[in-house]
């Protein structure tokens, strides 16, 4: 008879997210997740599998969380220019929570593992490609509502905006202040004026 689980897997996953986000994949260990969560190692392995499997679950959860919080304005039905602006405002606040630059776990992972691990590189690429597709819908709505001028290549503009967003995330991860990140994005967003 299997023993009942005595911990909340979602809480352990959040603990692992914080650890991998702060230290990266290679500098983190399952033993640290055990220490920080108080869950026995067999419970971690039994629920999540290997360190790599745990990390993949961390990335999926982190991506889902970002869809619900930071990307929420873009994902609203009919989102257009106000929601694009709200997205970037929310992003800047998120990047420096509690006054400490945090950057983005997915961007950090792309930098750390992108050249070493094709599966992880594809995950990072797909996350931002899907975000670009959401941005295309918002830009299309903004054009239809005459909030911005019509342009010939909406996809290129979406790519530009998400690339600038990724750059801001890297700036945050490297210790830039919220003010510096905001200044960068203010210039990037002038294309929408």
Q: Can you give the pLDDT of all 193 residues of the chain as single tens digits?
A: 445 457 899 999 999 999 999 999 999 999 999 999 999 999 999 999 999 999 999 999 999 999 999 999 999 999 999 999 999 988 888 776 655 557 899 999 999 999 999 999 999 999 999 999 999 999 999 999 999 999 999 999 999 999 999 999 999 888 888 889 899 999 999 999 8
CATH fold group of domain 69-192: Tetracycline Repressor; domain 2 (1.10.357)
Instruction: Provide the 10 A C-beta neighbour count for residue 89.
Output: 13
Phi/psi for 106 (5° steps) reads -70, -45
The C-alpha atoms of residue 46 and residue 5 are separated, in whole angstroms, by 10
- C-alpha neighbours within 13 Å on the C-beta side of residue 137: 13
Phi/psi for 123 (5° steps) reads -60, -50
Q: What is the pLDDT of residue 99?
A: 58
**Can you give the pTM of this predicted structure?**
0.88
Q: What is the pLDDT of residue 76?
A: 95
Cβ atoms of 39 and 12 closer than 8 Å: yes
User: Domain limits of the chain?
Assistant: 9-58, 69-192
Q: What is the pLDDT of residue 129?
A: 97
Q: What is the pLDDT of residue 1?
A: 41
Question: 9-58 architecture in CATH?
Answer: Orthogonal Bundle (1.10)
Cα dist. 159→54, 65, 82, 156 in Å? 30, 22, 18, 5
Helices then strands, counting H and E runs in the chain, come out as: 9, 0
Q: What is the pLDDT of residue 186?
A: 93
The C-alpha atoms of residue 83 and residue 89 are separated, in whole angstroms, by 10
Q: Which long-range contacts (CB under 8 A, 24 or more apart) does 21-28 make?
A: 21/62, 21/102, 21/105, 21/108, 24/108, 24/109, 24/112, 25/55, 25/109, 25/112, 25/113, 26/112
């Amino acid at each position: 008879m299997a023993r009942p689980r005595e911990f909340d897997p979602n809480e352990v996953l959040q603990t692992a997210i914080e650890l991998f986000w702060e230290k990266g994949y290679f500098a983190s260990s399952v033993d640290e997740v055990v220490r920080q969560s108080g869950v026995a190692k067999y419970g971690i392995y039994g629920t999540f599998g290997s360190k790599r499997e745990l990390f993949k679950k961390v990335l999926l959860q982190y991506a889902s969380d970002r869809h619900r919080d930071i990307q929420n304005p873009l994902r609203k039905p009919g989102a257009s220019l106000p929601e694009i602006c709200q997205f970037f405002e929310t992003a800047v606040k998120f990047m420096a929570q509690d006054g400490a630059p945090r950057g983005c776990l997915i961007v950090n992972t792309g930098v750390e593992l992108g050249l070493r691990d094709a599966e992880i590189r594809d995950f990072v690429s797909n996350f931002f490609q899907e975000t670009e597709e959401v941005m295309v819908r918002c830009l299309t709505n903004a054009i239809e509502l005459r909030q911005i001028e019509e342009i010939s290549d909406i996809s290129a503009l979406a790519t530009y905006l998400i690339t600038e967003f990724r750059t801001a995330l890297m700036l945050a991860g490297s210790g830039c202040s919220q003010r510096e990140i905001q200044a960068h994005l203010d210039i990037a967003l002038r294309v929408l004026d």
